[in-house]
Amino acid sequence: MLDIKELRKDPTAFEAKIKTKSPEIDISPILTLDERIRALKTEAEELKSKRNQSSKEIGYRKQKGEDIASFMAEMGALADQIAVRDQESAKLEADIQQMLSVLPNLPMDDIPISPSPKDNVCIKMVGEKPEFSFPFKNHVELNEKLHLFDFPRAAKISGSGWPLYRGLGARLEWALLNYMLDTHRANGFAQIIPPLLVRPETMYGVGQLPKFETQLFKIKDEDYSLYLIPTSEASLNGLHMDEIIEEEHLPLMYTAYTPCFRREAGAAGAQERGLIRTHQFNKVELFCLTTPEDSSRIYDKMIASAEEVLQGLGLHYRSMLLTTGDMSFAAAKTIDIEVWLPGQNRYYEVSSISNCTDFQARRAQIRFRRKNEKAHFVHTLNGSGLATSRLMVALLENNQQPDGSILVPKILHKYLEEEIVAIQPR
């Protein structure tokens, strides 16, 4: 959530900046409401001061034995007027918090301004696209003989858009997850196994609610009101909700593997079949809390750890600095790491690493304290380290052989006995 005090300083510049992410936003209703709230509070304070003076006058006249009936009536009237203003300002403050809660985070100054992802800036390119001397296949076609996944049976169980890994496919997925977790632990990230279902307050704190309510899977009945996490960022942001962390304990760097759940599967069209876009996918998350001064250094560390995974797998990838219009709701800066998928003839994101500054911390009330200073909001940073579904596609399509088998990268051999994923019988 954004700080209303920052909005007050220079409303014109504030609105211009926020419109680079969401052009439809108009902050004038917030300013009008803010002015009314401040006027009500000023009136209430003046009335309370008057009441205090009347109270002193009553005490003085009591001591002298004088009649205080008129003063008592005035006190009652003042109390009623104060209550009316306090009640109205409380209601309006709830309204303004609701209005602030749907405003996105402000982009940093170095972010390219554009509404289109076509204007994202390539800041790094590693490796080269593979060249094939044979007609290559996409991962769905490869699976016809490898039998690593079973999409028809997954659909029978849960409907379209849900994955089912089987045999070597399940083991290869598990090898990838273990490799990624080992990499991040070696880089100083502490492993967490968080809940997959979280409270509405947790989703609000991370920035998923109220804006993205319709994109989430949820359980709501007489006993529970919980949401399935779209990413473990939601759970990890909730770890320190409503806490004050001593500065010497920062940075806190976490990694977590969880399944993730999103309603958006299939939204982008038939070309994104198979594992490209599903309702459920596996992801290893990176999440950090730190001071504003250390935020940039930690951001670079997270990017390096995510890239190390891809470099170990020998995959060609590029890093893209996202435009203002392509960034997520909570992000102030985002770099996407995209792998080349031959079967789709395009790059696909496998990691999106964002610095959210104090946006999530303000919503979740996560602060840190320096010695002899008041508490400040932490900066939160998150990123995929990585999402395995598209990573699996990249692994299969980039390492396919003429006979339809797959060469397994050496880095995975200690997690998987096979060096070649060969054609398997059903």
Active-site option among 262, 362, 363, 367 = 262
Question: DSSP assignment, residue 161?
Answer: T
Give the 3-state secondary structure of residue 16. helix
What CA–CA distances, in Å, run from 186 to 133, 176, 322, 366?
Answer: 38, 15, 28, 27
What CA–CA distances, in Å, run from 116 to 178, 207, 317?
Answer: 36, 22, 21
The answer to whether 281 and 93 are in contact (CB under 8 A) is no
Give the 3-state secondary structure of residue 419. coil
Main-chain dihedrals φ then ψ at residue 103, nearest 5 degrees: -80, 135
Return d(Cα 378, Cα 244) in angstroms, integer.
9
Return d(Cα 392, Cα 189) in angstroms, integer.
23
Catalytic, 390? Answer yes
Return d(Cα 388, Cα 93) in angstroms, integer.
43
Active-site option among 89, 305, 352, 389 = 352
Q: Across-strand partners of 260?
A: 281
Active-site option among 15, 141, 349, 418 = 349
Catalytic, 296? Answer no
Return d(Cα 364, Cα 70) in angstroms, integer.
49
With b for 16 or more beta-carbon neighbours within 10 A and e for fewer, the 393-416 pattern comes to bbbbbbbbeeebbbebbebbeebb
What residues have CB less than 8 Å from 20, skipping those under 6 apart? 107, 111, 113, 324, 325
Active-site option among 85, 363, 367, 390 = 390
| Strands annotated E in 128-201 | 190-192, 197-198
Catalytic, 235? Answer no
Task: HSE, CB side, 13 Å, CA atoms: give it for residue 147.
Answer: 7
What residues have CB less than 8 Å from 177, skipping those under 6 apart? 257, 282, 284, 388
As separate numbers, helices (DSSP H) first and strands (DSSP E) second, the chain gives 12, 16
Question: DSSP assignment, residue 402?
Answer: T
Residues identified as active-site: 262, 277, 349, 352, 390
